[in-house]
Amino acid sequence: MNILILGSGGREHAFAKKLVESKKMTKLFVAPGNAGTARIANNILIDPTDFPAVKKAVLENQIQMVVVGPEAPLVEGVHDFFLADESLKDIPVIGPKKDGAELEGSKDFSKKFMFKHGVPTAKYQAFTKETLTEGQMFLETLNPPFVLKADGLAAGKGVLIIDNLQEAKEELADMLTNEKFGAASSKVVIEEFLDGIELSVFVLTDGKGYKVLPSAKDYKRIGEGDVGLNTGGMGAISPVPFADADFIQKVEERVVKPTVEGLQQDGIDYRGFIFIGLMNIGGDPYVIEYNVRMGDPETEAVLPRITSDLLDLFEGVATQTLASKSYEVDPRTATTVVVVAGGYPEAYEKGHFITGTENEEESIVYHAGTTMKEGKIVSNGGRVLAVTSFGEDINSALEKSYRTIDKISFEKMNFRKDIGFDLI
């Protein structure tokens, strides 16, 4: 089978590595990909949200399945585009259509969905410019800290958690009337603060059946001890030790089943991943958010643990036979440490030569923001590499990732040396 992966990060390199292991794989393409995917697949230098360019690439290369990495093509309707096109409509797309992608594309939509289908989540109300005063009055009824969320996609930056009531009222006004986060904050969700420990659970569904994939915890802040600015993610651990069988059972019963059944009831034919951001509050799961894709860097810790053929699972999604597919997981711990460009997540430099990525004796070195220049690997993004290792426990896996990173070098590289610190 010829496959096209859309995207260019560590997540997509992890998909690529897993898919090339499949006996069913013929030719693999990644658009646009990175220096890591270039070694094991064919990169096609197009923008994944340029659907006519995607169509051309699919037809030219006899692609038989498309796997969508990031949310943007999904929210913009790449799956719907395929279904509406005579020459593409029979090519399966792994990733929901626009209606399902609203679970990530609109916080208001996802909160309404959760309440309608009885999925545990924080209480909330949504406000627009016209209802700013009501929004400020609603804030007065809540206890701090106050959680304000831009309704639309804001590149992971649209959530504010504020201790002071006056400041929260001003931020609400800033979001609604000045469009602080662009059109994404023309509607704002205000919700109750959930006090617990965060983790993520991933689900693959064909719209009828599902597989609950391994849990993971990511480390979003740039600084050690979880301080400083938010990033795309600086590391991940899978599985999450406190997410034991009992907890995962609760997640499946209270969250996964009502979510998959709710999508069916609402007439949303969802084929793809659901990334469930959870808060564990005293052993009970509450949903913080849905994403309609896998996480990055969580994928780099979760996918290597799946020992079954990923392409076989994707075929199950495409043909709605996922329930009958075999699915097995390596019980060991996987740890991922992300190596970033100095300065990230603020302004950073690109184009630095990278050495040492071939040292994969103890780890898998996934490429994220890398590209080839004059035959050499150079940095091309904020998050540059993601180094994953296995171990019997978190510490033994981390030691390997850090040893591998010691052999990697590029100007001003940076990484957190405390991934998993709260779990050990």
User: Applying CB under 6 A, which of residues 14, 30, 139, 147 lies at the interface with ligand AMP?
Assistant: 147
E strands, 146-220, are 146-150, 159-162, 187-191, 197-205, 210-218
Closest CA to 27 of 54, 56, 65: 65
Quote the CA–CA distance of 213 and 236 in Å, as a whole number: 15
Beta 124-128 vs 227-230: how paired, if at all? unpaired
- Is residue 298 close enough to count as binding ligand GLY by CB under 6 A? yes
- 3-class secondary structure, 362: coil
Single-letter amino acid, residue 322:
L
Residue 197 as a binder of ligand AMP (CB under 6 A): the answer is no
Scanning 2-10, 192-200, 266-274, 346-354 for contacts with ligand AMP by CB under 6 A, the matching segment is: 192-200
216 in contact with ligand AMP (CB under 6 A): no
What is the size of the binding site for ligand GLY (CB under 6 A)? 8
148 versus 386: smaller Cβ distance to ligand GLY: 386
Q: Which is nearer to ligand AMP, 162 or 313 (CB)?
A: 162
Does the footprint of ligand AMP cover residue 122 (CB under 6 A)? yes
Q: For residues 151 and 206, which CB has a smaller minimum distance to ligand AMP in the complex?
A: 151
Choice between 193 and 242, CB closer to ligand AMP: 193
Q: Which does 191 bind (CB under 5 to 8 A by kind): ligand GLY, ligand AMP, none?
A: ligand AMP
What six digits make up the tokens of 188? Answer: 């704002």
Residue number with CB closer to ligand GLY (232 or 316) = 232
Q: Which is nearer to ligand GLY, 287 or 377 (CB)?
A: 287
Site residues for ligand AMP, window 287-306 (CB under 6 A)? 288-289
Q: Which of 291, 357, 370, 388 binds ligand GLY (CB under 6 A)?
A: 291
Task: For the segment 224-243, give every residue that binds ligand GLY (CB under 6 A).
Answer: 232-233
Q: Which residues pair with 124 in a beta bridge?
A: 191
* Mode of pairing for the β-strands spanning 28-32 and 42-43: parallel
Residue 262 or residue 295: which is nearer to ligand GLY going by CB? 295
What is the size of the binding site for ligand AMP (CB under 6 A)?
Answer: 12
Among 85, 174, 179, 198, binds ligand AMP (CB under 6 A): 198
Query: Quick check: 289 binds ligand GLY (CB under 6 A)?
Result: no
Q: Which of 204, 174, 194 is nearest to 186 (CA)?
A: 174
Q: Report the nearest approach of ligand GLY to the CB of residue 251 (Å).
A: 18
Burial class of residue 163, CB neighbours in 10 A (0-12, 13-18, 19+): exposed
* Nearest residue (CB) to ligand GLY, 160 versus 292: 292
With the CA atoms of 229, 232, 235 and 237 taken in that order, what torsion angle do they form, in degrees rounded to the nearest 10? 120
Name the residue nearer to ligand GLY (CB basis): 232 or 420. 232
Q: What is the DSSP string of 285-322?
A: EEEEEEESS--TTHHHHHGGGB-S-HHHHHHHHHHT-G
Contact call for residue 296 and ligand GLY (CB under 6 A): yes
- β-bridge partners, 274: 203
Task: Pick out residues in 152-191 that bind ligand AMP (CB under 6 A).
Answer: 159, 161, 191
Burial class (CB in 10 A: 0-12, 13-18, 19+), 358: exposed
Residues in the chain: 424
Rounded-to-integer distance, Cα 278 and Cα 287, Å: 5
Burial class (CB in 10 A: 0-12, 13-18, 19+), 209: middle
300 binds, among ligand GLY, ligand AMP, none (CB under 5 to 8 A by kind): none
State yes or no: residue 284 binds ligand AMP (CB under 6 A).
no
| Residue 147 interaction partner, one of ligand GLY, ligand AMP, none, beta carbon < 5-8 Å per kind | ligand AMP
Sole window of 40-48, 116-124, 292-300, 357-365 interacting with ligand GLY (rule: CB under 6 A): 292-300
One-letter amino acid identity for 37? T
DSSP state of 194: P
Residues at the interface with ligand AMP (CB under 6 A) = 122, 147, 149, 159, 161, 191, 193-194, 198, 277, 288-289
Interaction site with ligand GLY (CB under 6 A): 156, 218, 232-233, 291, 295-296, 298
